[in-house]
């Protein structure tokens, strides 16, 4: 019987992985990080693991910029690299260690440099107090992943269009493209962020969380999970000139295109030749649903992701799963939250329902979820804009690229 390998925490080296079920879910609470804050879960996770800590006044200061020497310590801790007083820093502008941590900053910087995570701004200068730019931090994360676990990051295929054009920097552009393709930037609304702007502490927490998940998933292998995308086949929702099946079909196909060249096998489980009607609530037009589910089953899908738009509902993103399926509920929440953050629509939560296409009696994928992305009235302009659908696809591809193999 196949079991979902849970996301895990990297300890010591990339090979030393503990089950995520044994890792603390929440660390110290911070008064300036409310529960609804976009990076709240990531901040809680990295603080629980000692990768990032708060300040003496009790705050985390999630919007403060991260300095270069601060991030050297964060990335070294995230990678599980050993640090001792024997690690010698060759950058002359990095201060000797003092204060409560006798290894900070010089010995952490030394270890980051010796592992190729950072190259400094020159052979002798590190600019330790300068805020680290997003592009620089992303390069450090990508180098760090390859340092401790070569082959973990898949090469981004030629057709993958990243949110930032690689030409923005000959040094960092391709690193950012590879990082986005591998899900390291999931949760960041990249289209609104300047690659040369300072990375905030909240953003850094999210990227480090993504790094831990990627490392825990193991090296990039040629055989990854099989993911079936089932876009809506309905054309009987909303106004007469609204075509849900076209919108959802385009989102699914864009997502599959973004994943092309990755270790993941994708399947488009979509039926548009058996009538563009049907309801997942009661299984009307069961022939169309059964055909779609059959394509997923024939492919041996590990994950089944159904993509829909809501109608006469609040604006936002809702995750759905079959009643009582806790494993699917976790993925539904992850996907809905990520899509919500990256496209700017509200997160509407998750909901369990006995949906026809998610019933384990007919759908054999171990993990089955449905997403209601946007409302066909309130969010219609966004959904009909190809740029909006591309943002949705990018958010889905980022999260899917982090899914573990089901064994």
Q: How many Å apart are CA 95 and CA 110, to the nearest integer?
A: 12
Predicted pLDDT of residue 187: 78
CATH code matching the domain that covers 226-400, chosen among 3.50.50.60, 3.40.50.300, 1.10.1040.10, 3.40.630.40: 3.40.630.40
Q: At what angle do helices 68-79 and 106-114 cross, to 10 degrees?
A: 60
| 3 vs 281: which has the higher pLDDT | 281
Choose from 20-24, 26-30, 108-112 the range with maximum mean pLDDT. Answer: 108-112
The tokens describing 270, both together, are 């979509």
- The token pair that represents 11 in the structure block: 């300890």
Q: What is the pLDDT of residues 201-241, one digit of tens each?
A: 999 999 999 999 889 877 654 467 899 999 998 888 888 89
pLDDT reading at 20 higher than 90: no
Q: What is the pLDDT of residue 351?
A: 96
**Closest-CA residue to 393 (of 376, 377, 371, 378):** 371
pLDDT at 318: 96
Tell me the pLDDT band of 28, cut-offs 50, 70 and 90: low
Please give the model's pTM, rounded to 2 decimal places: 0.61
Closest CA to 388 of 339, 321, 333: 339
Quote the pLDDT of residue 23: 33
Q: Is the dihedral of CA 61, 64, 68, 69 positive or negative?
A: negative
User: Which comes out higher in pLDDT, residue 36 or 347?
Assistant: 347
The secondary structure of residue 221, as a DSSP letter, is -
- The burial of 246, by beta-carbon neighbours within 10 Å (0-12 exposed, 13-18 middle, 19 or more buried), is given as middle
Element (H, E) at 144: helix 134-148
DSSP 280-329: TTTTBSHHHHHHHHHHHHHTT-SEEEEEEEESSS-SSEEEEEETT-HHHH
Task: Report the largest interatomic distance among the alpha carbons of the chain, rounded to a whole angstrom.
Answer: 72
Average pLDDT of every residue of the chain: 86
Mean pLDDT calculated for residue range 310-323: 93
- Domains of the chain by residue range: 8-66+131-217, 226-400
């Amino acid at each position: 019987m196949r079991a979902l390998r849970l996301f895990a925490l990297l300890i010591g080296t990339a090979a030393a992985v503990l089950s995520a079920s044994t890792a603390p879910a929440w660390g110290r609470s911070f008064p300036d990080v409310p529960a609804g804050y976009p990076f709240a879960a990531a901040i809680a996770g990295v603080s629980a693991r000692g990768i990032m800590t708060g300040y003496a006044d009790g705050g985390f200061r999630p919007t403060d910029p991260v300095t270069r020497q601060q991030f050297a310590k964060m990335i070294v801790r995230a990678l599980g690299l050993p640090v001792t007083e024997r690690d010698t820093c060759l950058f002359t502008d990095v201060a000797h260690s003092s204060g409560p941590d006798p290894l900070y900053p010089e010995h952490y910087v030394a270890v980051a440099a010796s592992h190729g995570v950072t190259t400094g701004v020159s052979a002798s200068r590190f600019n330790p107090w300068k805020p680290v730019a997003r592009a620089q931090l992303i390069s450090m994360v990508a180098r760090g992943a390859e340092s401790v676990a070569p082959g973990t990051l898949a090469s981004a295929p030629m057709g993958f269009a990243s949110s930032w054009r690689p030409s923005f920097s000959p040094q960092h552009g391709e690193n950012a493209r590879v990082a986005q393709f591998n899900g390291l930037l999931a949760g960041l609304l990249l289209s609104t962020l300047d690659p040369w702007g300072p990375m905030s502490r909240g953003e850094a927490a999210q990227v480090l969380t993504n790094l831990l998940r990627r490392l825990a998933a193991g090296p990039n292998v040629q055989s990854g999970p099989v993911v079936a995308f089932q876009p809506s086949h309905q054309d009987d929702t909303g106004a007469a000139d609204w075509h849900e099946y076209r919108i959802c079909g385009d989102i699914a196909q864009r997502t599959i295109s973004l994943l092309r060249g990755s270790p993941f096998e994708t399947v488009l489980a979509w039926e548009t030749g058996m009538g563009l009607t049907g309801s997942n609530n009661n299984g009307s037009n069961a022939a169309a649903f059964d055909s779609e589910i059959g394509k997923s089953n024939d492919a041996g899908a590990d994950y089944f992701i159904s993509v829909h738009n809501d109608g006469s509902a609040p604006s936002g993103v809702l995750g759905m799963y079959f009643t009582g399926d806790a494993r699917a509920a976790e993925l539904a929440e992850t996907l809905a939250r990520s899509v919500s953050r990256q496209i700017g629509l509200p997160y509407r939560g998750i909901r369990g329902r006995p949906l026809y296409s998610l019933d384990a009696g007919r759908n054999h994928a171990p993990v089955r979820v449905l997403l209601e992305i946007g409302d066909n009235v309130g969010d219609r302009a966004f959904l009909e804009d190809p740029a909006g659908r591309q943002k949705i696809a990018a958010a889905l591809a980022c999260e899917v690229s982090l899914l573990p193999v089901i064994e």
